[in-house]
Amino acid sequence: MKLEDLNGKRVFDVVLGVDDFYDDIVEGRIAIDQKVFDRANEKEFKEDFYDLGNDNTIVAHVAYCMFILDYHDISHAEGFGGLEEGLVKVLNYPRINWQAKATEIDPGSLKWDE
């Protein structure tokens, strides 16, 4: 990627803690167009979706959508529909070391409402 490919986007190194103690950390680099910040700061966006408060929180929200929820484009995220595609570019995808525990439960063993 070249500098001119960014088309004036702001570039951020992002660190997301997956839990309260930042034991599981996701790191990546993302480029965000000013239009995304403008949308997140609109009164209607804040009333209908989220009041993200400041640029750091907007970057964290966008990174979460792109890194964790794996949206193809930010225009697919709630509140950002209608924005043209390509306003966010993931420059370095994070390597996520998922650790999970799943235990299958027999549905017959559960208490159900009658």
Report if residue 114 sits inside a domain.
no
Give the closest residue to 26 by CA, choosing from 40, 13, 37, 45: 13
Report if residue 55 sits inside a domain.
yes
**Residue 8: domain span:** 3-96
pLDDT, one tens digit per residue, over 58-69 is: 999 999 898 888
Give the pair of three-digit tokens for residue 20: 């309260």
pLDDT score recorded for residue 19: 63
User: Are 111 and 63 a contacting pair, CB within 8 Å?
Assistant: no
Per the structure, how many domains does the chain have? 1
Residue 72 pLDDT greater than 70, yes or no: yes
User: Are 53 and 69 a contacting pair, CB within 8 Å?
Assistant: no
